[in-house]
Amino acid sequence: MSGRYLPKADKPTELDELEQDNHRNGDSSNSDSATADQTAKDTRDDKEEETGQKAHGKTIRRGLLLTVGAIGVAISSVFGLRWWQFQSTHASTDNAQIKGHLSPISAQVPATVQQVLVKDGDYVKAGRALIRLEDQDLNLKVQQAVANLAAAQAQLKGARDTVSVTSQTNPTQVQQAQSNLAAKEAAVSAAQANINQALAKVETNQANVAQAQTAVTKTQADFRRYQLLYNEGAIPAQQLDTARAAYENAQAELVAANKTVAQTNAEVKNTQAQRQTAIADVEVARGQVSERQVSGQNVTVQKDQQQQAQAQVAQAQAALALAQQQINYTVIKAPTSGYVGQLTAQVGQKVQMGQPLLSVVPLQTDAIYVDANFKETALGKLHIGEKAEVEVDAYPGKTFNATIAGISPATGSSFALLPPDNVTGNFNKVVQWVPIRLVFDPATDPQHRLRPGLSIKVTVDTTTGTNSASTQAGH
């Protein structure tokens, strides 16, 4: 064994102590002493060899430890670098959940369940009948609505006919009455003119009577004077005859003038009577005009009645349409394709309007989405259009592809019923969470294994986005 592997001993070894004991005792024989020396030498050589091997093993272990440590540091550095690079280009959160556009289906009319055509978990296509309700009462309502509509239409027809007849005859009657009134008023005016003319004749004839009376008085005086002169023989008989003839002629003219005055007075009375008759005719004509005008107002009333009848027809039509629609509501159909869930309807059950009966859950990737809450510190590197991987707790080791479709305009706490208020001065800074909406890629789940409500972990690759920060802000 090479001496370089011998360790330095500051203390006596067990062999040295044995030799010292042998020397101190001094009672051993020379042969025993030689044997003891040889034994001690062999023991010492074995100890030295063992000690050297231990030292060599420690050196090897120390080298191995250093090598392993160096390798560990290198591996840790590599993994640390990769972790840092991953964290700088990715954002992840497990505060996320799958959600979907669930379609709750409720009764639209109060009725009794007649048939339940599906069960929980069934896949149904849009438009498939799910539940049938009894429709006997609703059919009676339809029949009643049909009868009401027929009655309203008949009433409307009668109102239209009345308005049509009245509208055609009334204007002509009003015009005729107005023309008659104008004629009667013209007759009154003519009668008044005749009266005025007759009165003028009366005045003229009365003047003629006065003139004739004057002539009679004068001729009478002349005749009497000539009579005296004739009796005295102062004038001849011929002159007396001339005076007599003049007197008689004046008397005849006076009689004729009085007769003319009487005739003109009769004419005045006649024209006055005609005027009164014309005035009475005017009043009658005015009454006829008013009556025809009132009939015109009746046309307006009849038109209002026609509109009311038309409104009643529209109301009856709406009632019929509603009754027919309620019959359609007795067949409850799937609004979209999906799986049946929360089925509570049972045959014979009396349901009320708005009562939930079941839900249809679409599981297509375009009908489900992810609502993930990211810390506000990650918002700066999240953009619409960036790709993400979704790990579902229900399917370990399986990832699904998704894309950021929207970023909430405010943090989740801002939309809370009672938003935080720090005006009191007791402020504790808390990391805020920003809701992010992600949509699944169309081909990522062909087997429709994803379900609304599943817990997930979302990891976004922030190097895959194409939208700028301004686009994000716009969204």
Give the model confidence (pLDDT) of 81-90 as tens digits: 666 656 668 8
The angle that helices 136-231 and 237-329 make with each other, rounded to 10 degrees, is 180
Where exactly are the structural domains of the chain? 3-65, 91-103+359-474, 136-310
Predicted confidence at residue 40, as pLDDT, reads 62
**Which pair of tokens denotes residue 439?**
């949509």
Predicted confidence at residue 470, as pLDDT, reads 41
pLDDT at residue 473 tops 60 = no
Q: Which residue has the higher pLDDT, 436 or 59?
A: 436
CB-CB contact of 120 with 340 (8 Å): yes
Q: How confident is the model at residue 9 (pLDDT cuts 50, 70, 90)?
A: very low
Between strands 433-440 and 368-375, the pairing is antiparallel
- At the topology level, CATH places domain 91-103+359-474 in Elongation Factor Tu (Ef-tu); domain 3 (2.40.30)
Q: How confident is the model at residue 355 (pLDDT cuts 50, 70, 90)?
A: very high
- Residue-wise pLDDT for 388-410, tens only, equals 999 999 999 999 999 999 999 98
Predicted confidence at residue 8, as pLDDT, reads 43
Closest CA to 103 of 454, 356, 456: 356
Rounded CA separation 406/473 (Å): 10
DSSP secondary structure, 233-256, as one string: TSS-HHHHHHHHHHHHHHHHHHHH
Is the pTM above the cut of 0.85?
no
Predicted confidence at residue 220, as pLDDT, reads 87
Q: Do domains 91-103+359-474 and 136-310 have the same CATH topology?
A: no
Closest CA to 373 of 309, 292, 289, 458: 458
Predicted confidence at residue 460, as pLDDT, reads 94
**Which pair of tokens denotes residue 370?**
């992810």
CA distances (Å), origin 11, targets 110, 156, 207: 106, 134, 195
Rounded CA separation 382/436 (Å): 9
CB-CB contact of 242 with 225 (8 Å): no
Predicted confidence at residue 32, as pLDDT, reads 54
Structurally, at CATH architecture level, domain 136-310 sits in Orthogonal Bundle (1.10)
Q: Is 102 helix (H, G, I), strand (E, B) or coil?
A: coil
